[in-house]
Structure 1
């Protein structure tokens, strides 16, 4: 397989492995003839294979060795650690932060279903957050990438042997990147919930840093692909804009801190930051559906009527992807697999399926359903739709055939 096609496939896998991981963790809920335990283990193990830096003694992927031990030396910072992207030796901060946010959300909502793999999932989060703390150590600066994508993509080599450029790229007050900074704040805030009872001191550190990074993202607004176009485009160029990441970061800070300022920020900026736009999109570049589903839990629990419009957006999202009445942007294969135009379709399948399961759980606890015209979307229906996607992903089943 050519380097480009393999890299694209692996990039898709790494960015979407988290929601897929959660789908696997729900074997007890959705049931199947597949070995979900083994698939879950391998999904988390994949993260260990992507580790950069000095590897820990309990590293399970034994063929991987220490690598990129001097990252950041060109700028006088320690930027070692984190995860490589796909089949590359680049560390792209934007998708890495999104992956961290989703893995944290997975643990928060479904960790009880992960069994013995929960501890490894938590370690995967910490491997990412330790790195995110390094890249945000200087106030009003975020290092968003280590490595030159062009030289790396022209040289196929394992990270232990790489001799390509390890350039460090940053955003700051003069070169804004509200998208990547907002996502980084979201990742740190979500992870602070994961460690709240496991390591309270570390949790407080994550939350305080999340607040500082979010303030920077909000004060210095702009897209990082505008500031660093030659480095990040066309690889993780922000097409959707930075507004959704600001709202996404504020929602996670609200959830993690319960501070009034973040609740008021979300309410005040709902329209300004376009919470109701592209409601059936969710991925590293577009957080709209995730924003609406995440915050709707509070409405369904009867605790936040001021977020009611977000719940309406979440209901509209559900209706927009139901088979038979789905939005023109969402189609289904003859076998029932979600299809959205563009590349990396499994990114859409796994991310949207994760939201289906999360919303199904919220609806079930509130004893609610979603009215979609003549159709009613029950929690069971949403679970069944997600199950259908998982079955298609795990095997070449009749679901993907004509």
Structure 2
């Protein structure tokens, strides 16, 4: 938590003309593709996107979520961003992230445009401000938190599956005259004012709408003073910084000197008025935006006092801030890299106007540490470099659902790669890092962590990006089946064969519940008939069924060959995995031999095996695996004629148009996601084109 250290000192102020220097690119001592790191850092926000339009971007493993936010207060409060690895929309970090990202775009717009990131960043910024506008239905009411942290943190699973019947999402806090929240109102006003500046040449009507809301929200926060609430998760320690942050950006947007007068009064109330100065040994963060306030004031006023305060802060970080053995500036243990990255952004913005290379060198040294120049030779940005965290504390990326109905573990391998996320970082003594989803002090990620990081990387791309471009980023990391069964043999004799099986719904694009899933386990009873018995002498018993599953008796498949199956079914919604333990018994016949059973093949007694001989069905239609007697299916051979050509493409198009169901669904499911759709059509087109 921040601690303010206001020290009254006498400082000889040295004037400096705050004129922006030209962004001169350099490749001196360049170690990394900063542009690639930059582009990935922006992508992180698409993973934390909330609302009905989640997934309408580059990450197809995200989908619509939390579509009833605000319903309890009669409003549509959908949108915004999940805070961190959880799904709450907290007030202060959301306002901080939006304003800091907007500032990054404002200062380094050329980097965003030149490196092809402007459309992504503007889309993210507008999603923030669209949400803020929804949350401000009248001049004296601003809703600033959706979801309860305590309740939300009891759920580990994808946001798409966090329905109201699983976790309630109350509209927990609103700023009103009776319960003011000057901090949230001030920082949100800053975000809206910055959006006006960034958007006025794109959509003037929308920009003006943001500016009007910024003015009103700022006035509301200034008139009714008080601190926001968060349920104990983001305890605010002051609001003078936030109100100053809102005022400096409203001044930037309007040139109205009344906002500068307000800032003078806020600083006086904070003890920084008149000849008093301020030793700021913290940095830009959700609970303290004075770092940004003074850098911005130095830019727009050329006031020696403001420049002195900004430089004292930067020089403290360069010369006196605690430093790890590996060279990282380290001022807090929880999410330490967010602070370092934010200070790098301040340094790069200030360098832009001062041309003092000490600030550029400082930022480069710290960003290089974050990207891999550290004792572990590890990047702390997920997906960047060759050695990066694989277990960030993030429910959507994990894709695992603990408890009903998923019954998975958060410590299982994560289903998705959380590109661009800045993890909390190493410890402060030995630069060690534990890649453990449960060590959230180090492995947590959040929208406030990445805000300053995006700004710092925008600056690094400006000064060191050269002609570098971002690397390609796949939309999904694995081409694995989404619906399948893994099983093992628990007991086997001439009287009984007991199977432990797990029905999986590992849907990815995006995660979703399924109803009507089932699997069939095929047995060959030839040995029973050979010994004078029949299927009537064989019984089936369910020992354990999770998730509302049920088990059928023996069902004939090919009676002439004595092939039967039992079907395990889950009529209700299922995600993750559901266990079914069942036994096939012949206690009177005592002649069972499971070795010839179709579904017994390749199963082991000591570990689970994913088996294509235990096929999966959705509402009776096979979507995975093989039945006895089926020849191997050739991917892309939709019409089953043994070749993959234009006829298959035609049949698949007809199927997707609803004009033909007579295709091989397994052959048509080229990407193995258990669904035949346009993505498979695209892959089939590429497959046929490449074979010509």
Pick the TM interval, shorter chain: 0.7 to 0.9
Which SS does the other structure have where 1:170 is aligned? strand
Equivalent residues in 2 for 1:213-228 (5 A)? 213-225=217-229
Deviates more, 1:156-165 or 1:392-401: 392-401
Equivalent residues in 2 for 1:2-401 (5 A)? 28=25, 32-55=30-53, 58-114=56-112, 115-162=115-162, 163-168=166-171, 169-225=173-229, 232-238=230-236, 240-275=237-272, 276-277=277-278, 279-281=280-282, 282-300=284-302, 307-323=303-319, 326=320, 330-364=321-355, 379-398=356-375
Structure number having the greater helix percentage: 1
**Distance in 1 separating the partners of 2:327 and 2:245:** 30
Which SS does the other structure have where 2:270 is aligned? coil
Write the deviation string for residues 2-60 of structure 1: whole angstroms up to 9, x where unpaired: xxxxxxxxxxxxxxxxxxxxxxxx99457623222222221111101111112178511
**Distance in 1 separating the partners of 2:54 and 2:68:** 17
Instruction: Report the alpha carbon displacement of residue 315 of structure 1 after superposing the two structures with TM.
Output: 2.1
| TM-score (normalised: structure 2) | 0.48
Which SS does the other structure have where 1:95 is aligned? helix
Instruction: Report the alpha carbon displacement of residue 398 of structure 1 after superposing the two structures with TM.
Output: 4.7
Structure 1 residues 292 and 399: CA distance shift in structure 2, 3 A: farther
Corresponding residue of 2:643? none
**Distance in 1 separating the partners of 2:189 and 2:246:** 6
Which SS does the other structure have where 1:286 is aligned? coil
Contact preservation (8 Å) 1:94, 1:284: yes
**Distance in 2 separating the partners of 1:283 and 1:183:** 11
Instruction: Report the alpha carbon displacement of residue 152 of structure 1 after superposing the two structures with TM.
Output: 0.9
Paired residue total: 345
**Distance in 2 separating the partners of 1:399 and 1:158:** 31
Instruction: Report the alpha carbon displacement of residue 273 of structure 1 after superposing the two structures with TM.
Output: 3.1
Which SS does the other structure have where 1:322 is aligned? helix
**Distance in 2 separating the partners of 1:151 and 1:57:** 25
**Distance in 2 separating the partners of 1:385 and 1:313:** 18
Which SS does the other structure have where 2:117 is aligned? helix
RMSD, matched Cα:
2.1
Which SS does the other structure have where 2:131 is aligned? helix
Contact preservation (8 Å) 1:244, 1:274: no
Contact preservation (8 Å) 1:176, 1:217: yes
**Distance in 1 separating the partners of 2:326 and 2:62:** 39
**Distance in 1 separating the partners of 2:259 and 2:227:** 22
Please list every run of 5 or more consecutive structure 2 residues that lacks an aligned counterpart in the other structure. 1-22, 378-429, 432-692
Instruction: Report the alpha carbon displacement of residue 319 of structure 1 after superposing the two structures with TM.
Output: 2.3
Instruction: Report the alpha carbon displacement of residue 396 of structure 1 after superposing the two structures with TM.
Output: 4.9
Contact preservation (8 Å) 1:30, 1:383: no
**Distance in 1 separating the partners of 2:35 and 2:194:** 25
Contact preservation (8 Å) 1:280, 1:320: yes
Structure 1 residues 175 and 30: CA distance shift in structure 2, 3 A: farther
Write the deviation string for residues 304-329 of structure 1: whole angstroms up to 9, x where unpaired: xxx43222211221222222xx2xxx
**Distance in 2 separating the partners of 1:59 and 1:27:** 33
Instruction: Report the alpha carbon displacement of residue 158 of structure 1 after superposing the two structures with TM.
Output: 1.1
Write the deviation string for residues 336-373 of structure 1: whole angstroms up to 9, x where unpaired: 21110342111210111110111111112xxxxxxxxx
Structure number having the greater strand percentage: 2
Contact preservation (8 Å) 1:186, 1:252: yes
Contact preservation (8 Å) 2:279, 2:309: no
Q: Which of the two has higher C-alpha Rg?
A: 2
**Distance in 2 separating the partners of 1:286 and 1:171:** 19
Contact preservation (8 Å) 2:279, 2:312: no
Write the deviation string for residues 265-315 of structure 1: whole angstroms up to 9, x where unpaired: 123332213455451322110111211111101234xxxxxx432222112
Structure 1 residues 212 and 320: CA distance shift in structure 2, 3 A: same
**Distance in 1 separating the partners of 2:160 and 2:250:** 37
Contact preservation (8 Å) 2:55, 2:63: no
**Distance in 2 separating the partners of 1:222 and 1:349:** 29
Write the deviation string for residues 71-92 of structure 1: whole angstroms up to 9, x where unpaired: 1010001100000011111111
**Distance in 2 separating the partners of 1:134 and 1:207:** 14
